[in-house]
Structure 1
Amino acid sequence: MRSRHLPFSVVLAAAVTLRVWFAATYPYAFFFPDSRSYIESSLLGEPGVIRPFGYSWLLKPFLRMPYERIALAQHMLGVLILAAAYAFLLRRGCRPWLAALAVLPVAVDARVLTVEHYVLAETAYLAATAGGLFLLAGRDRLGWFAAAGGGALLGFAAVTRTVGLPILALAAAYLLVRRVSLLRLGAFALPVLAILGGYLLWYHQHRGVYAFGQYQGRFLYARVMPIADCDRLRLTVSQRALCMPEAPRSWDQRPDNYIWSAASPARRLYPSETGDPVLGDFADTVIKQRPLSYVGMVAEQSWWHLTWRPPLNDDADCLARVWLPPVTVGSDCVARYYTPADRLGAMPAPHFLVDNPDARRLHAYGRVVTTPGPLYAVGILVTLFAAGWRVRRRSWRSAADALLFTGAGVGLLVVSVATSLFDYRYAVPAVLLIPIGLALAVTRIVSAASTARRLDAFIGGGRAARGSTRAPGNGQDGGGRTAPVPSEVRPW
């Protein structure tokens, strides 16, 4: 029994060792500009206009502590996530070695380690999303408690990062495919509606509008600006003022500059959240008039997640290096330390490391050990093949499980590109979800192939028996009893 779990024991030991090494090398939590808004919302106890409050709520117990406690908690959460994923895959019939291989990327990926060390929502979001999907897909027969727990976790994930809203629709479609009862569907939907509806009411109480935030229009404005050829668009006078034909070429891959740069028309004309509807209308106009350009841009940059080396310019490559272990904390294009700020909302001062050999080693490790994009492409192809390969009366259940996890991972990549930009930070959930979907798909293919061989052997043996003895009738054995059908080929 111990040898059966030896591969996972090795993976788990590697995951723990790397996280202990990381925390010892970088003794403070990492800071990104988004971190400030999360901390500020948590201190004020009210929803922010840029990002939802879920992660800020989780930060409350850590506000009066050194912020490195947040990083340590997230590293421990990362280990719990991979252990839960391994247990889930075993429950769904995966071989232990295959389950261990599926969780290996999230255990050792250098970008995952680095993001866990940031005061950012990605690790908490991944835990809530994965936990919700594990509950929904964990058993052959979904219980109402698991349905409610899955709905609660996925609902909380959506108010941690709004990119999780489409995952709720995917989970609901999955439950419909499984034909769960109305009671189970209601148990799933009730906490989702309570969390989302309660958040909208709470946001309205503080901000006067029903929304999850008031920067969605601004983000989408920035997203479409690379394709906004204003000379060919039909725009109103106020919309045309938002054009920026002299924008630097590098902004095509870093559209977030249209949000934060002082040179952006949006920042100059609509500096507060009240201008979000205007910016959103501009984005809708561009998408409606140039739908193929928008779809092409999203498809191209989503594809970058599936390649070995995406064609990033210097500006975008600088952002990519932020998510790797730094040699010197605080220098350009790498992480800053999150040392305590002097006042609420202030950016922490950089804290430089001096000649840290372990930082150099971790940086070298990070340049090599990251999840390769082609693994995602393989996961997509194998999952689609497994879903389409129904051997005679093979159940759709295992195909639905694989599609759920692979679809969630790929969907998060595409939605993040469609609404924001290409960023490896947004690929962190895919490092776990797509390999899980791949493992489930491989298990389905192997099981289906084995079932086909058994069925052929069963039919061939029956024919041989009927050829040597006088059978009383089709489908009956020599004693007049109906011959049993192997359980592997019975419908789910």
Structure 2
Amino acid sequence: MLAPALLKRRALDLGRHHWLFLVVFVAGAGLRAAAWLAYPPALLYGDSFRYLDNVGVHNPTGLHPIGYDLFILDPLLAVGGLGLVSFLQHVAGLACGVALYALAKRLGVRRNWLAALAAAPVLLDAYEVQIEQMIMSDVWFQVILVGILWLLLGKRGGQPPVWAVAVAGLLFGIAVVFRMVALPLALPAVLFLLIAGGVWRRWRTWAAWRTILPRIAALVLPLLIVVVGYGTYYASWAGHFALSPSTGNVLYARGAVVADCDTLELPERLRPACPPEPLDERLGSDVYAHIGADEEWRNQWPEGTNIVKIQQDFGRAVIKQQPVDVALAVLNDFLKGFRGWRIDTPGDVSVERWHFQPTYQFYNHEEKSREYSVRFSGEEPESRPTLGTALRWYQLFGGFMPGHLLGAAALVALAAGLGITRRVRASGIRAATLLPVGLALVSLGGAAAFEFSWRYQLPGLTLLPLAGVLGITAFLKHRRASDDTRNDDTGSGTGGDRAKPDPGPTPDADTRARGGDEDAVVAGAPGAHGTGDAEPAGEDPPGRHASSPVG
């Protein structure tokens, strides 16, 4: 047990060296305390009722997967109310900020102010704080993503161990059970495992594949076990294997917005699915995604018609016959998240849904909100207008991360990951930079394939600042002599256990650095993020310019 004097000295050292992050953290904690006190016990959005209705039931055939109600609501509501859920969601948001800052430092971001920038958006963004106050799954999805980053990037001076990769694969599977958009997120992780440590440069050798294949298998197998298990559980309820019934909603919503019904070749059974609005007056994707619940709309078909199949077939017909229109609509929705201001465009889910209000926001469900609040917390919703007004002013007048800065962070990270300069190629963190930006872009792209909503931009808020900070660090780092780099933060290590920069992509350079031991290089002796032994400053190994810049 540490003596009080030692604890005091360490606390003073922490405050002296990391004071800027501590200021940001305290500000973020203050925002969350204000939100928790302003709208007790929690804000209830339309999706919140679906989650709460599924507590203890865990029916997978609903609009949302069961991860949130199974892993979060069930255990927490067994010991507390909605106020406990919202409180722990705020704690989870703060934990994400701490983890991002610590990971940035671990990956060699030596400037503390720069590392603080990786955590500041998730700690200080008012939209993040507002959604944490809701009974919604979003913050837990962010927690899972940050956990995956730590598992794959956090090991000091080495590639991620197989056990860490396997746990990351398990977390990917759990992420799918929270949000279906997580399903393709394993792709950038697989890419990272292929290039981490530079083993990909020897892809023609069996020794390289002995390193690559176990890592990929360790990631993919746990993911498949969870996904197949969930699909089997779904089949026990629905009678057929699937992961979600929302495929029809998504396809129809995306197709209905752009469908040119005058030129589409459709069978008669799909004709009623064409929206009655003129093409230039179409409603938003969110409206068409939920139109299946409209009895009048459903009555266009004979009783017993499989409406989900109608929606799926209509959406696929539009995608097949108007692929360019659909692709442009998805691209447009993807780019909306990188605007400087949080504004609405025609058809968007209104940004007002994610604004703090002076009083408790009932979202047109006042009676239902009161009923559920009493049922699960024993108290009715309350408001503290002074706090609510202060939060609203903070949010509307700059208390958020501008989208164009997130876009700039993504571009910097991609440029660094691709190694566009000699200095970046010598940084040793290129693979580590590509992982968070890849996860962010795939997540945002998957959400845009459905619809645009500011709510769906939160993974970018979590991942892109870290990616940008790592990219900036890669551009700022300079190659030193090998004796100097042993004492520098150029890899994933910190303190006395610091990784060394990547020697470059050429096999013979790696071999010379290791004294001819090629197997040591292939077996993953360098760091997980492209680490290895240093070379003289300003020099590239022979053949480096002819090789791929990734790794």
**Fold shared per TM-score above 0.5:** yes
Equivalence for 2:470:
440
Residue type of the alignment partner of 1:70: V
For residue 246 of structure 1, the aligned residue among 273, 277, 301 is 277
The 8 Å contact of residues 373 and 380 in structure 2, kept in 1 or not, is answered as no
Q: Deviations over 1:150-201 (max 9, x none)?
A: 1111211111100011111221121112245433222222211111111111
Equivalence for 1:63:
77
The 8 Å contact of residues 105 and 432 in structure 1, kept in 2 or not, is answered as yes
1:232 is paired with a residue whose SS is coil
2:55 is paired with a residue whose SS is helix
Q: CA deviation at 1:49?
A: 2.7
For residue 25 of structure 1, the aligned residue among 38, 46, 51 is 38
Equivalence for 1:287:
319
**Cα distance in 2, alignment partners of residues 121 and 60 from structure 1:** 13
**Cα distance in 2, alignment partners of residues 367 and 123 from structure 1:** 21
**Residues 310/112 of structure 1: CA separation in 2 closer, same or farther (3 Å cut):** closer
Residue type of the alignment partner of 2:195: V
2:18 is paired with a residue whose SS is helix
Residue type of the alignment partner of 2:153: A
**Cα distance in 2, alignment partners of residues 337 and 117 from structure 1:** 18
1:412 is paired with a residue whose SS is helix
The 8 Å contact of residues 235 and 242 in structure 2, kept in 1 or not, is answered as yes
Q: Following superposition of structure 1 onto structure 2, how do residues 402-417 of structure 1 map, counting pairs within 5 Å?
A: 402-417=433-448
1:212 is paired with a residue whose SS is coil
Segment of structure 1 superposing worse, 405-414 or 257-266: 257-266
Q: CA deviation at 1:254?
A: 4.3
**Cα distance in 1, alignment partners of residues 433 and 394 from structure 2:** 31
**Cα distance in 2, alignment partners of residues 79 and 269 from structure 1:** 50
Q: Deviations over 1:315-349 (max 9, x none)?
A: 736x31111211122356899995443999x9x99
**Cα distance in 2, alignment partners of residues 334 and 111 from structure 1:** 21
Q: CA deviation at 1:267?
A: 8.0
**Cα distance in 1, alignment partners of residues 429 and 365 from structure 2:** 42
**Residues 270/295 of structure 1: CA separation in 2 closer, same or farther (3 Å cut):** farther
Equivalence for 1:128:
144
For residue 93 of structure 1, the aligned residue among 108, 114, 135 is 108
- Are 2:170 and 1:146 equivalent residues in the alignment? no
The 8 Å contact of residues 327 and 360 in structure 1, kept in 2 or not, is answered as yes
2:102 is paired with a residue whose SS is helix
The 8 Å contact of residues 402 and 437 in structure 1, kept in 2 or not, is answered as yes
The 8 Å contact of residues 217 and 277 in structure 1, kept in 2 or not, is answered as yes
Equivalence for 1:16:
29
Q: CA deviation at 1:440?
A: 0.8
**Residues 138/270 of structure 1: CA separation in 2 closer, same or farther (3 Å cut):** farther
**Residues 377/406 of structure 1: CA separation in 2 closer, same or farther (3 Å cut):** same
The 8 Å contact of residues 78 and 123 in structure 1, kept in 2 or not, is answered as yes
- Are 2:145 and 1:114 equivalent residues in the alignment? no
Equivalence for 1:321:
352
1:30 is paired with a residue whose SS is coil
Equivalence for 1:394:
425
- Are 2:194 and 1:176 equivalent residues in the alignment? yes
The 8 Å contact of residues 253 and 285 in structure 2, kept in 1 or not, is answered as no
Equivalence for 1:478:
none
Residue type of the alignment partner of 2:247: Q
Is there any run of 5+ residues in structure 2 with no aligned partner, and where? 1-12, 200-210, 483-533, 542-550
**Cα distance in 1, alignment partners of residues 103 and 303 from structure 2:** 47
**Residues 110/401 of structure 1: CA separation in 2 closer, same or farther (3 Å cut):** same
- Are 2:360 and 1:360 equivalent residues in the alignment? no
The 8 Å contact of residues 43 and 361 in structure 2, kept in 1 or not, is answered as no
Segment of structure 1 superposing worse, 84-93 or 409-418: 409-418
Is there any run of 5+ residues in structure 1 with no aligned partner, and where? 456-483
For residue 180 of structure 2, the aligned residue among 153, 158, 162 is 162
Residue type of the alignment partner of 2:134: Y
**Cα distance in 1, alignment partners of residues 374 and 390 from structure 2:** 35
The 8 Å contact of residues 325 and 363 in structure 1, kept in 2 or not, is answered as yes
**Residues 277/160 of structure 1: CA separation in 2 closer, same or farther (3 Å cut):** same
Equivalence for 1:4:
17
**Residues 381/266 of structure 1: CA separation in 2 closer, same or farther (3 Å cut):** farther
**Cα distance in 1, alignment partners of residues 127 and 428 from structure 2:** 33
Q: CA deviation at 1:305?
A: 0.8
Equivalence for 2:245:
214
**Cα distance in 1, alignment partners of residues 180 and 57 from structure 2:** 21
Residue type of the alignment partner of 1:94: V
Q: CA deviation at 1:249?
A: 6.4
Q: CA deviation at 1:350?
A: 8.5
**Residues 385/183 of structure 1: CA separation in 2 closer, same or farther (3 Å cut):** closer
**Residues 229/111 of structure 1: CA separation in 2 closer, same or farther (3 Å cut):** same
**Cα distance in 1, alignment partners of residues 365 and 434 from structure 2:** 36
The 8 Å contact of residues 250 and 313 in structure 1, kept in 2 or not, is answered as no
The 8 Å contact of residues 218 and 279 in structure 1, kept in 2 or not, is answered as yes
Equivalence for 1:383:
413
Residue type of the alignment partner of 2:167: G
Percentage of identical aligned residues: 27
| Structure-1-length-normalised TM-score | 0.84
- Are 2:477 and 1:427 equivalent residues in the alignment? no
**Cα distance in 1, alignment partners of residues 296 and 379 from structure 2:** 26
Equivalence for 1:470:
none
Q: CA deviation at 1:35?
A: 1.2
Segment of structure 1 superposing worse, 238-247 or 24-33: 238-247
**Residues 393/270 of structure 1: CA separation in 2 closer, same or farther (3 Å cut):** farther
- Are 2:335 and 1:303 equivalent residues in the alignment? yes
**Cα distance in 2, alignment partners of residues 231 and 243 from structure 1:** 10
Q: Deviations over 1:111-146 (max 9, x none)?
A: 000110111110111111221122112233211121
Residue type of the alignment partner of 1:221: Y
Equivalence for 1:461:
none
**Cα distance in 1, alignment partners of residues 217 and 305 from structure 2:** 36
The 8 Å contact of residues 47 and 136 in structure 2, kept in 1 or not, is answered as yes
The 8 Å contact of residues 90 and 133 in structure 2, kept in 1 or not, is answered as yes
**Residues 102/327 of structure 1: CA separation in 2 closer, same or farther (3 Å cut):** same
Equivalence for 2:500:
none
Q: Report which structure shows greater RCO (CA 8 Å, sep ≥6).
A: 2
**Cα distance in 2, alignment partners of residues 335 and 439 from structure 1:** 43
- Are 2:61 and 1:43 equivalent residues in the alignment? no
**Cα distance in 1, alignment partners of residues 279 and 435 from structure 2:** 40
Equivalence for 2:118:
102
Q: CA deviation at 1:269?
A: 4.3
Equivalence for 2:10:
none
